A and B are shown apart, each in its own frame.
Chain A
């Protein structure tokens, strides 16, 4: 039995008011799309286009919501690792972090990230039992020339994981090249009937889409690959201060992207990703640990799941701490609880991330895995042996007896959740084992994991072929 309820911020009546306000914004204010191709498509589908501004009529919006699927099957190169996203999925999916400039670890502190760091994050994600999705760019490889990064990073992605993949916005020609490379591994024509890679696309808040994000939406849709429209508007900066106002605006943005994807290819996978934030208004900078932030995003999760029946995703493990300290822990746990219990189908920015997505920490990755595993276990609710009301057993043991020595306890005592990095020893045992804090233990686990990880998940011949593919295009 899963939990009887999830977190809801607003009631049904409020939800339809928010939807109606969104329709009004789309019909009256409209959204800017910086792409002639997209504008032509909107015009052909009956939208009012003036310059880059597109006013989306209710009928087109409703038809698009209707055609977007309520669940998506996403394939991994290892087909046993395929996942269902959306309706019917068994647990929250977890995606590696993305976009951090710096790498942090206990041994070397904070430094500009390199390809070696990126590969280590790929390896951790590949081995991680909580992480069901691979790819993304957990840290930027600053030592690789920018013009070579796309292909080199994708090569390392394929080399180090066979899970379903997440990617970022790219120009159309780069996406085409990447898909070709994927089909070198999986066979020509594979992607057409195997959604395997989704891209996260950001609107330019407020209410605009730039050229490359539009190319990404359209190119992915044409290849039957899903996209996730992730709005990250800042309340008071790129969205209204009002939390519901921000929810209305990001809803308009995400639905604008949805309409474009469905016009391009009806039925293309679309993952609704509300990830706006309440910033630090003292200096107007992005922060991620405010308890107000997910009052916005959970309203949007409600819209997507209750009104639109769409798969959802949000940035679930963010924090503003500069090092993996107590603040990083409590802000992360606050956000994980809110987002996961709010019903997000995928969480991202939740494995290692620090400092409002500027830094990725190896040790924090290990701590985050455990935090996510705690919430996943809680969300499983009461199931299996736990549904037994145990009246007979309670009667057998009686007052002052002990359940500890009953066979049913021995039989099930290993089914209870256990920590993977937290310390549950007594003070004495903890001292005996070296009085390690959680960071030190996490550091050790990182090293053990990396040492145990295979150097490649690719067959050697395929690896050579992919490597030759990359070199031929650089």
Chain B
């Protein structure tokens, strides 16, 4: 178990070199890839998420852990069963039409991916048709919509309305976030989840999958 603990420690420290080395060492020593993923890495990201929430870890530190997680998972992926590394759920995410801001949305993507979600990131200025086509193609569990500008908030409402009108919204949860958005607005436009920051986005997404 001690090699798993040292993997978790390297992940929390955001030390990608040490982490990939330790993951490789564990594999060489015969530890099962699936065990490394669930007991050392995903367990470690849970600790990171908790520390972010309490303020013990700062966002740049969390992101370094998330990036190191990505590198470790890349080593494990060929050894895992199909879809095991992204078994938490499927997400399609983008910044709505008219809005070019993506820093916050990218953080959400990183946090979701490091929590084991399979994320399709459509980028910025995403028109409604692109959302609809991708949803049809990917069949996601969660759709994430981001906006930074107050002027693009109506586009968020419009995007949700079109998703619902197309019938693609059935059984899919819609998550919204971004500086001008709050819980009341999210409820008003028919979103299922409002996340105020990247940490709560991945936490709420996980809760939603287990609900």
CB distance B67 to A405 under 8 Å?
yes
Which among A410, A414, A427 is the interface contact of B63 at CB below 8 angstroms? A410
Interface residues of B in 89-118 (CB under 8 A from A): 102-103, 106-107, 110
CB distance from B119 to the nearest CB of A (A): 16
CB distance B64 to A405 under 8 Å?
yes
Task: Please give, as numbers and ranges, the residues of chain B lying within 8 Å of A413 by CB-CB distance.
Answer: 58-61
CB distance A410 to B106 under 8 Å?
no
- Give the complex CA separation of A347 and B124 in angstroms: 52
CB of A187 within 8 A of chain B? no
CB distance from B187 to the nearest CB of A (A): 14
CB distance from B181 to the nearest CB of A (A): 11
CB of B178 within 8 A of chain A? no
Is chain B's interface secondary structure helix, strand, loop, or mixed overall? helix
CB distance B197 to A426 under 8 Å?
yes
Size of B's binding interface in residues, CB under 8 A = 17
CB distance B107 to A404 under 8 Å?
yes
Contact with B along A399-419 (1 / 0, CB 8 A): 010101101011001100000
CB distance A410 to B61 under 8 Å?
yes
CB of B14 within 8 A of chain A? yes
Whether A426 touches B196, Cβ cut-off 8 Å, given contacts A402-B106, A404-B103, A404-B107, is yes
CB distance A410 to B14 under 8 Å?
yes
CB distance B103 to A402 under 8 Å?
yes
Size of A's binding interface in residues, CB under 8 A = 13
CB of A428 within 8 A of chain B? yes
Task: Please give, as numbers and ranges, the residues of chain A lying within 8 Å of B67 by CB-CB distance.
Answer: 405
Residue of A nearest to B106 (CB): A402
CB distance B196 to A405 under 8 Å?
no
Task: Please give, as numbers and ranges, the residues of chain B lying within 8 Å of A409 by CB-CB distance.
Answer: 60
CB distance B64 to A407 under 8 Å?
yes
Contact with B along A425-449 (1 / 0, CB 8 A): 0111100000000000000000000
Give the residue among A407, A410, A428 with the most B Cβ atoms within 10 A: A410
CB distance B197 to A405 under 8 Å?
no
Task: Please give, as numbers and ranges, the residues of chain A lying within 8 Å of B103 by CB-CB distance.
Answer: 402, 404
CB distance A404 to B59 under 8 Å?
yes
Task: Please give, as numbers and ranges, the residues of chain B lying within 8 Å of A429 by CB-CB distance.
Answer: 196
Give the residue among B61, B110, B183 with the most A Cβ atoms within 10 A: B61
CB distance A410 to B64 under 8 Å?
yes
- Give the complex CA separation of A427 and B67 in angstroms: 29
Contact with B along A451-469 (1 / 0, CB 8 A): 0000000000000000000
Task: Please give, as numbers and ranges, the residues of chain A lying within 8 Å of B14 by CB-CB distance.
Answer: 410
Residue of B nearest to A429 (CB): B196
Interface residues of B in 166-207 (CB under 8 A from A): 182-183, 196-197
Residues of A bordering B, CB below 8 Å: 400, 402, 404-405, 407, 409-410, 413-414, 426-429
A-B contact pairs, 20 of them (CB 8 A): A400-B102, A404-B59, A404-B60, A404-B107, A405-B60, A405-B63, A405-B64, A405-B67, A405-B110, A409-B60, A410-B14, A410-B60, A410-B64, A413-B60, A413-B61, A426-B196, A426-B197, A427-B182, A428-B183, A429-B196
Given known contacts A402-B103, A426-B196, what 12 new A-B pairs fall within 8 Å (CB)? A400-B102, A404-B59, A404-B107, A405-B60, A405-B64, A405-B110, A410-B63, A413-B59, A413-B61, A414-B58, A426-B197, A428-B182
Q: Which 3 A-B pairs have the closest CB atoms?
A: A410-B60, A413-B60, A409-B60
